Amino acid sequence: MTVYRYTVPASYDGETMQNFLRRECGLSWRMVVKLKRVDGGMTADGQPMRSIDRLRAGQTVEVRMPEDAVRIEGADIPLQVVYEDDHLLVIDKPPYLAVHPSAGKPEPTLANAVVGYFERQGTPLSFRPINRLDRNTSGLLVAAKSPHVAYALAQKPYKVYLAIVLGALTGEGTIDQPIRIREGSCITREVGEGGKDSLTHWQALGTDGEISLVRVVIETGRTHQIRVHMSWLGYPLVGDTMYGTDETFLPRHGLHCAVTTLTHPVTGEELTFTAPLPQDMRQLLQSHRLWQEEYDHPM
Q: State the catalytic residues.
A: 134
Tell me how far apart the alpha carbons of residues 107 and 162 are, in angstroms, rounded to a whole number: 27
Tell me how crowded residue 54 is: count the other CB atoms within 10 A of its CB.
14
Counted residue by residue, the chain has a size of: 299
Q: Which H helix or E strand runs over 172?
A: strand 172-176
Q: Is the dihedral of CA 144, 147, 152, 158 positive or negative?
A: positive
Please measure the distance between the N-terminal and C-terminal CA atoms of the chain and give it in whole angstroms.
Answer: 37
**Residue-wise burial string across 94-119, b where 16 or more C-beta atoms lie within 10 A, e elsewhere:** bbebbbeeeeeeeebbbbbbbbbbbb
Name 182's Cβ contacts closer than 8 Å, sequence gap at least 6. Answer: 188, 189, 190
Tell me how far apart the alpha carbons of residues 113 and 89 are, in angstroms, rounded to a whole number: 12
CB 262 within 8 A of CB 277: no
Q: Which of 212, 255, 251, 250 is nearest to 234 (CA)?
A: 212
The torsion angle over the Cα atoms of residues 80, 84, 89 and 95, rounded to 10 degrees, is -10
DSSP string, 218-256: ESS--TTHHHHHHHHHT-PBTT-TTTS---SS-SS--EE
CB 241 within 8 A of CB 227: no
